[in-house]
A and B are shown apart, each in its own frame.
Chain A
Amino acid sequence: MTAFVSAFVRDEFVAPKPPPPSTVGVVGWMRQNLFSSVLNSILTIAAGALIVWLLIPLVRFTLIDAVWSGEDRSACAQATGACWAYVKAYLPQFVYGRYPIGERWRVDIVFWMLVIGLVPLLIPRVPLKRLNAIFLLTFYPLIAYVLLTGGHHVFTGSFLPEGLVPPSVRFAAEYALVSALIILAVGLLSVLLGKPVAGSGALAGMILGGLGLVLAVVSIDFGLEPVETANWGGLLVTLVVAVTGMVASLPLGVLLALGRRSAMPVVRLASVTFIEVCRGVPLITVLFMASVMLPLFLPEGVTFDKLLRALIGVALFSSAYMAETIRGGLQAMPRGQYEGAMALGLSYWQMMRMIILPQALRLVIPGIVGSFIALFKDTTLVAIIGLFDFLGQIQASANDSKWASPVTGITGYVFAAMVFWAFCFSMSRYAGFMEKRLDRSRR
């Protein structure tokens, strides 16, 4: 067979012509995305005008007309731009509040330890996640607590007769006594349940020993000058409230979520009530409640300081939201996982700890980060009950007569907005990144 050859039929393809110039390159892109129709052209021009109208004053205010250096209000009195000199002068206050100047290195150490502990935890490729998390959740809070407050708490004990043991070890003796009783009771219970005594005893011993260690560390005198929480302020308070809220809300949220899905009606009812009440009311009322009602609930003579009260309020409030996020993860787990775990003979807590929670929590990491962002923004509300967090400190300093000028207040707000935005935006980007990563691994 010979190929049919004809002079009228091409035996090769014509090279494709380049697309019309109006559809490629910058012009093509603009025609397609900005000027595809009359309406779109009008919208583009309007949006462009809006951007110019907003951007020019913004750039002028923050950069061109801004005052960058100066000693006091005279530098900014006539300014039409931001008074960055004021931010520069107040920056230490915005970060530390009224924390004594000589002791601020302690705050720095706590801050850098947080960065060093957190960054490797957030990068998926870095190994030793478990050790890292244990450091961040156990040792770090303890060190931070001692460094920030100064430690050296004095425990006096309450029930042993005065003369029996020297006053310095009275509390320790009492603690040991109570611990021994508890371990004994646990041992007795496990004998009744027919379980190995050594296991339950060791667990109880570990918990009590750990608690004892914490109490011992906070009572040691490291020679640090005590700093009242009333003197804390600025970013320090914001981060303390936010981080404590995050760390406390996660386990509480897990417990509440498990409680809400529990088969025991009483536990379920209590969890649902707590979650719905917290989610149904504004945070301010919870904070008001923590600051005015909590003292009423406590026996006479027992007082909490203001920061601790706010911390309790924030932690309880955010744990309710966290519980709902985690419940989503629990509900998303296929029944087969529960049934498989039960078929293996795992107990409820073993099943939750080893099978369900690791998977469920991983599913809702984006949601958890979302709750963290909300919590971080909500920390600003503590300013309303009289704590000086980052925003509260800026708000208070704007009225300082040394720097009072028409632009001081707005400069402070712009600065605060930039800082909060940087924190929240990076958190939400991280959540997005994790979401993509988890999605990939599930596919």
Chain B
Amino acid sequence: MASSELGAASPGRRIAAILNNPAVRGAVFQVAFVAVLGWLIWDIIQNTAHNLQKANIAAGYGFLGRTAGFGIIQKFVDYTEASSYGRAVYVGLLNTLAVAGLGVVLATIIGFVVGVARLSSNWLIAQLAAIYVEVIRNIPLLLQLFFWYFAVLRSVPGMREKWSLFGLFHINIGGLHVPRPVVEDGFGWVVGAVPVAIAIAIFVARWGKERQEATGGRPPIGAINTAVIIGLPILVFFLVGRPLVFDIPLFNETGPLLRRGFQAGSGLTVIPEFVGLLLALSLYTAAYIAEIVRAGILAVSHGQTEAAHSLGLRSGQTLRLVVIPQAMRVIIPPLTNQYLNLTKNSSLAVAVAYPDLVSVGGTVLNQTGQAIEMVSIWMLFYLGLSLITSFVMNQWNKRVALIER
């Protein structure tokens, strides 16, 4: 009945039936969507080409080869004002990686300490950690950065004075002055000893596991491996005749006024921009990491601890063998997210003129007017970083994810 009715439908009905078909509709909508998007992009390209032509800017990355002509206050590779724009961007990229890398390490340490402290049975410690988290998380990072850089690091002594910690770390308006490690011949042996030590450690761990499975007794693998990994490089270090010396920053307290203060070329000077940015980034991110760590530990149900205890594991073993491995499964994905956030937030460097990728890129952009090229370099770097990280994280997640029935 119904089919015969459909068959006898008027042409209008048939058109309606076709147009109401979800597949047809989807196709029509997508074609329209692509058309509108394409038209928009084409329009943008037309406008941009016209605007660039009017402003006399040649599109393309050729400008990266031209001479930059500006100085950068912190560089890990050779760079002078005569270097090219490309070199300047490279220097900025390394600076971003430096502050982000150190920031990640510091934030992790502080974050884990604070996160565990929040769960402490000691009321005062738990409250202190909670206050830290609530204060830091609710104040904009930029404000914290301004505070550290403009308020704290500008109120330290002037160039001719200093504050010292342990007689090794000195701070004044010129930055943080620390001993500079100077590598001498033969240090390669020490560096080479590290992979050897790690290989031995892996071997020991395997042997320990076999032992445990065969006899039930667990050899002190942790202690042995710690000794191997720390001990072997140190042993080599002394064997080859201590090929590392420290260049202590020289400080003149007397003499002509202009000669007082830290002597150029002695020790390692960390610029205040770096110190301020590092402080702000790591303290801020640490508050978030603390919350992640707390949530991760709380996510391991108490039954796990009780079961471990009833199997006869001691508290330390319970923590190491039962709680932490399970907590890490919950902690690591959001943790990597925070690492990415820290790296992206390091672009706030531009507010205190720390020469990171965005800051240097901004200077290049202002000098050359190559907005599209510069923004694309930024996007490529940050986007690449987050895509690589999320790819690695997905692989890792697949490996450790709970396999359920």
Interface of A is mostly: helix
Q: Which residues of A contact B16 (CB under 8 A)?
A: 192-194
A420:B122 contact, CB within 8 angstroms? no
B128:A51 contact, CB within 8 angstroms? yes
Q: Is A292 an interface residue (CB 8 A)?
A: yes
Partner pick for B371 among A267, A296, A398, CB 8 A cutoff: A296
Determine the distance from Cα of A36 to Cα of B126 in the docked complex, in whole angstroms: 14
Determine the distance from Cα of A398 to Cα of B135 in the docked complex, in whole angstroms: 23
A33:B122 contact, CB within 8 angstroms? yes
A50:B128 contact, CB within 8 angstroms? yes
Give A263-283 as 1s and 0s: 1 = Cβ < 8 Å from B's Cβ atoms.
111110010000011011111
Q: Is A391 an interface residue (CB 8 A)?
A: yes
Partner pick for A277 among B48, B348, B358, B379, CB 8 A cutoff: B379
Residue of A nearest to B371 (CB): A292
CB-CB contacts below 8 Å: A368-396 with B: 373, 377-378, 380-381, 383-384, 391, 395
A193:B122 contact, CB within 8 angstroms? no
Q: Which residues of A contact B142 (CB under 8 A)?
A: 380-381, 383-384, 391
Determine the distance from Cα of A164 to Cα of B362 in the docked complex, in whole angstroms: 51
Give B6-44 as 1s and 0s: 1 = Cβ < 8 Å from A's Cβ atoms.
000000110110011000001001100110010000001
Residue of B nearest to A413 (CB): B147
Q: Is A43 an interface residue (CB 8 A)?
A: yes
Given contacts A192-B16, A285-B347, contact A293 B375 (CB under 8 A): yes
Given contacts A33-B122, A300-B51, A425-B138, contact A267 B33 (CB under 8 A): yes
A239 to chain B minimum Cβ distance, whole angstroms, is 14
Give A406-424 as 1s and 0s: 1 = Cβ < 8 Å from B's Cβ atoms.
1001100100110011001
Q: Is A40 an interface residue (CB 8 A)?
A: yes
B33:A296 contact, CB within 8 angstroms? no
Give B372-388 as 1s and 0s: 1 = Cβ < 8 Å from A's Cβ atoms.
10010011001101110
Determine the distance from Cα of A33 to Cα of B126 in the docked complex, in whole angstroms: 10
A23 to chain B minimum Cβ distance, whole angstroms, is 16
Determine the distance from Cα of A191 to Cα of B50 in the docked complex, in whole angstroms: 43
Q: Is B329 an interface residue (CB 8 A)?
A: no
B151 to chain A minimum Cβ distance, whole angstroms, is 4
Determine the distance from Cα of A292 to Cα of B376 in the docked complex, in whole angstroms: 13
Determine the distance from Cα of A47 to Cα of B138 in the docked complex, in whole angstroms: 23
Given contacts A277-B379, A298-B47, A413-B151, contact A282 B26 (CB under 8 A): no
B143:A391 contact, CB within 8 angstroms? yes
Determine the distance from Cα of A339 to Cα of B110 in the docked complex, in whole angstroms: 48
Q: Is B121 an interface residue (CB 8 A)?
A: yes
Given contacts A270-B37, A277-B383, contact A288 B13 (CB under 8 A): no
Given contacts A194-B16, A281-B383, contact A380 B143 (CB under 8 A): yes
B134:A48 contact, CB within 8 angstroms? no
Determine the distance from Cα of A354 to Cα of B33 in the docked complex, in whole angstroms: 25
20 contacting pairs across A/B (C-beta < 8 A):
A34-B123, A43-B122, A50-B128, A265-B30, A266-B33, A276-B386, A280-B385, A284-B350, A288-B375, A292-B365, A293-B375, A384-B142, A384-B348, A384-B350, A391-B140, A391-B146, A398-B150, A417-B139, A417-B147, A425-B138
